[in-house]
Amino acid sequence: MEQKAGSLETRVTYPPALFSAVLLLALVAAVIHVYFGVLVYSGNNSIPMYGIAAVYIVGVGLVAANFRRELWLKVGTVWAVVLVVLWAAAAFLGNTPHTTDPLAYGVNILEVALILSLLALTRYSRVQTKF
Quick: pLDDT tens for 83-127: 999 999 988 988 778 888 899 999 999 999 999 999 999 998 888
Residues 51-76: what's their mean pLDDT?
94
Give the model's pLDDT for residue 1: 42
Mean pLDDT of 68-93: 93
pLDDT of residue 2 exceeding 60, the answer is no
Mean pLDDT of 26-44: 92
Q: What is the mean pLDDT of the chain?
A: 89
For the entire predicted model, the pTM comes to 0.86
* Long-range contacts of 31-36, Cβ-Cβ distance < 8 Å, separation of 24 or more: 32/103, 32/106, 32/107, 32/110, 33/107, 35/103, 36/98, 36/103, 36/104, 36/107
